[in-house]
Structure 1
Amino acid sequence: MKKILFLTFILFWACKETPKKNTQITNNVVKQKENFDALPIKYAKGFTIEKHEKITVVKVNAPWPSANKTFTYALISREDFKTITLDASKYDAIIPIPVKRMVATSTTHIPSIEALGIENTLIGFPGTDYISSKPIREKIEAGKVKDLGLNESLNTEVLINLEPDLVMGFTVEGENKTYENIINSGTPVVYNGDWVEATPLGKAEWIKFFGVFFNKQKAADSIFNSIAKSYNQAKELASKAQKTPSVLSGSMFKDIWYAPAGESWVAHFLKDANANYIWKDSFGSGSLSLNFESVLAKAKTTDYWIGPGQFTSYNQLQESNIHYTQFDAYKNKNIYTYSLTAGATGGLLYYELAPNRPDLVLKDIIHILHPEILSDYNPVFFKPLKP
């Protein structure tokens, strides 16, 4: 799955908008009006939601990294959909809500679907083996969620025959001919940029994006507020720790060591866990591409190694590269991985749930680095590397 590989080696561990004018219904034609209500989005930077008289306008302003294009969607209740006329040229899609049949395309979409209780709307997904959620796996096994191949080669014929109300999609670079074909068939594609967000709570706040398509705004707000409260409470606890241990992250892929940059999602977790991430002062929200020698020189004596890529054991590390054994974190058995926590068909839970539950990720890291603070906590994602 393209997104998983991209997140593994590139992003993982590694603006104010001019508001649209509101709408007023006159003789079944939408005309512009000055007032509207903007729904509060506190952490996410990639989308806005505006409530007009009978229309909700959703704008995605960061659908992929460094995007120079925005997408605007008009959402209209099913009761009003046939009586309201909009200028279709002003919107990328006009969608009746609540959505009843949906195709999702990323495992990061799954936790929002489950948390909002809208599992029955999911009818298709590319690469269903990557899904770890038990309720969704039950639907897959019952034949209620069709496997659509892989994101790089979606089975558009099967997808279109499913007749979804929309496809919740994503793109890495902005070019996706498959999505163009789906749109040309009459099925809306809505771009979800949750993965572009650099901050943990920014990613999690995209549950509000899901909520508005399913008339679940209040539930989405409540769920997110609970997550944000849990995260900030854990962050406050970590700030009182007596020590600030040093942390290394990433691993080699071919000849390059990929590590999260200093403004990345992972770096935010480490900072909030009161860790001294050795590349915290580097720029960028993606990943750093480093050679092994420079990493060893800088990170040899770090206290912990959190997130060594796909590795699950010390033996694997040693067999892959004998020089991994030179790090103190290796010698002291202070390496922790997310790759030991998988679903029934092998999908890694971290890729699916972590962006939506950053409070659990933060608590995992605090438990590792400051066990005296969360001594009774049972980690969800990160486990000690096996021998």
Structure 2
Amino acid sequence: MLRADTPGCAALLHANNAGSSLQPRPVIDAVLNYLALEQELGGYEAAIESAAAIQNVYDDLARLIGASTRQIAITDSATRAWNLALASVPFRPGDRILTSVAEYASNYLAFLQLQERVPVTVTPVPNDESGQLSLQALTDLMDDRVRLVAVTHVPTNGGLVNPAQAIGEVVAGSPALFLLDACQSVGQVPIDVTALKADMLTTTGRKYLRAPRGTGFLYVGDRALRELRPPLCDLFGAKWTSRDAYTLRDDARRFELYESNLASTLGLGAAARYAMDIGVERIWHRIRKLADRLRQALDAEDGITVVDQGDVRCGIVTFTVRGIDPAELAADLRPKRINIWHSSVESTRLDMEQRNLRSVARASVHCFNTESELDRLVEAIMVAR
């Protein structure tokens, strides 16, 4: 069923799901059907006709991560959601931000920009011996000056899964807010924001959730909703109550703007339902089984070094191949209808520099991949070498 539902499988060996996955048929249909409705009725009128279906997207996203509907805001990307969350925190001079060594470039650039405006300090929490964020180091660094703990759950450059629930337990009860970047984990790893004790969580649609590009969402817990104000708003996120006053919405949609891509939003909802219909636990089990098989197969080949870290590893498999640049390897495989990707030091500078890595090849599997595809992938890598 999974491959029959995924038209791209007929022509591709797609192992770039951490970049952008292949959309299943229900997602494609949701987008195309809404675009047809806009053509038939007009944009505003199609939105009115589809109001219940659009509302259901918020319900489905909330159910996917164990949240309530009022805690969900839909955005056009994980980066947009993450930057909205960061920009909404009322930082004061002297505040501290704790983050992970594996933090993504876009997140760290936002920290550097913040430091140009407010004298805050940003401290990467050291890793433990497995390569994941050290809980003991985090505990030692926590004090009353820590305003935000911002951690990437699954980094872009490896199979590591940071211990998000244990991190949330360390942060809980402190004045700090916990922001989890889950752009590589939602749709792949079972997520329950209550168990994670996350104040904010951000993710994209295009990766393991298999939604259209240009989609994402932001979860904002009740404590954060009481504290945070969006850096900007319009007549969707706020009501103009008098000439000189306005009132923000009391839910997470205060972070949204009026104009959005409703066709893609409905595709995002369809992707969430599709994942839940399969069962995220089942998806997670299948992905890990395939990724472990791929790591073992690559490890067995001379000249290939798998570089994944962490006690728990996911569907992202990163490796180096002696004598070939990872970007060149991905380019060599593409004409053969085999998709992998590469990750360079510029995307996760702290981690890559710490491990003396300039670039790695990245194959990221999903539940619709097969064992025979993995064998073909390893064989193609050896031929390219």
How would you bin the TM-score normalised by the shorter chain? 0.3 to 0.5
Task: Give the TM-score normalised by structure 2.
Answer: 0.35
**Higher helix share goes to which structure?**
2
Q: Kindly indicate whether structure 1 or structure 2 has the higher relative contact order, using CA contacts under 8 Å at least 6 residues apart.
A: 2
Task: Give the TM-score normalised by structure 1.
Answer: 0.34
Whichever of the two has the greater Rg, that structure is 1
